Chain A
């Protein structure tokens, strides 16, 4: 009678090896087969029950100077919020969604940036909502955010002094 030993030797019966290989092949196929379902799957009920969606408006106050370009780094700092979408702002000059790295989605940090080459009279000045960041917040803990204005510029491309702020929308 043959005894099975856990080594890669001939003591592994052919049928056993065949079964393991078959199992690996089936796992591979199942992994590929269920991929779309995984991507489309809803969150687990327990997590879904504790999550909510939130929107954070991003403002830039360029004082009296027309705002032609900006770049801002936004991050959720306490690990309870994930970015799920980014949209443009109020002003016609920045109504289109800004540039951002797609890898920021489902993560907690993003750099957004936009510019407009229009003349100064068509650009916003003062406090302007330039973008809105949509988030999914998990748990009961309130999210905390951090905003850093990396650069703002006037229509000539020169840096200007400006202030960036954010405001979380009240949930309805």
Chain B
């Protein structure tokens, strides 16, 4: 029976007997496929199907775009300073320093005399009238005509020296367009 089946199978092949015999012999031996080939095939398949790049986050692909866009925005800001208002930024160095000084005065609790009803004044408000204006600068300029001055409160810009630069600091604050409320 087996023989007949074998004859029938062999009868369907039109190959030399040597080849048939060799092929029959090969079927019994395991075929060795190196692991590297498997990995290469899987990698190629992932690349083809798009699975492999999940490990590389999508964000990593945005990096060059983000850098390019940030560079362009920075260039626009440099070239067109007024664009900062449009982009939501604001404030020059002078404004920032003014605000910082104002904040600093408030946080350091530079309080006024008892006559001031406990109100805190900004450093530039030398005459303690509740507003920084040219009279404060004028007051310091008049005092500078009679040196030496030792009151540290008169060192408005904090450079350790009481001079005309402190007057200019007060005057700059007085005419600043960023001020709020009375001036």
| Count of chain A residues with a beta carbon within 8 Å of a chain B beta carbon | 40
Give the Cβ gap from B139 to chain A, nearest Cβ, in Å: 5
**What's the Cα separation between A112 and B71 when bound, in Å?**
38
- Whether B71 pairs with A111 at a CB distance below 8 angstroms is no
Q: B145 an interface residue at 8 Å Cβ cutoff? A: yes
**What's the Cα separation between A138 and B72 when bound, in Å?**
32
Which A residues are in CB contact (< 8 Å) with B79?
Answer: 31-32, 34-35, 38
Max count, chain A CB within 10 A of own CB: residue among B58, B134, B145: B134
Which B residues are in CB contact (< 8 Å) with A100?
Answer: 175
- Whether B177 pairs with A109 at a CB distance below 8 angstroms is yes
In chain A, what residue has the closest Cβ to B77? A31
Which A residues are in CB contact (< 8 Å) with B76?
Answer: 31
In chain B, what residue has the closest Cβ to A22? B68
Q: What 1/0 mask marks residues of chain B from 162 to 183 whose CB sits below 8 Å from any chain A CB?
A: 0000001001101111100001
- Whether B133 pairs with A25 at a CB distance below 8 angstroms is no
Determine the main DSSP class of A at the interface with B: mixed
- Whether A153 pairs with B177 at a CB distance below 8 angstroms is no
- Whether B138 pairs with A99 at a CB distance below 8 angstroms is no
Determine the main DSSP class of B at the interface with A: helix
| Count of chain B residues with a beta carbon within 8 Å of a chain A beta carbon | 37
Q: B64 an interface residue at 8 Å Cβ cutoff? A: yes
- Whether B175 pairs with A27 at a CB distance below 8 angstroms is no
Q: B: which residues have CB within 8 A of A?
A: 50, 53, 58, 61-62, 64-65, 68-69, 71-72, 74-76, 78-80, 92, 127, 133-135, 137-139, 141-142, 145, 168, 171-172, 174-178, 183
Q: A: which residues have CB within 8 A of B?
A: 8, 10, 17, 20-21, 24-25, 27-29, 31-32, 34-35, 38, 68-71, 73, 98-101, 103-104, 107, 109-115, 117, 150-151, 153, 157, 159
Instruction: Pick 22 A–B contacts, CB within 8 A, sort by A.
Output: A8-B62, A10-B50, A20-B65, A24-B69, A27-B75, A28-B71, A34-B79, A35-B80, A69-B135, A73-B183, A99-B134, A99-B168, A99-B171, A99-B174, A101-B178, A113-B133, A113-B175, A115-B137, A115-B138, A117-B142, A153-B135, A157-B127
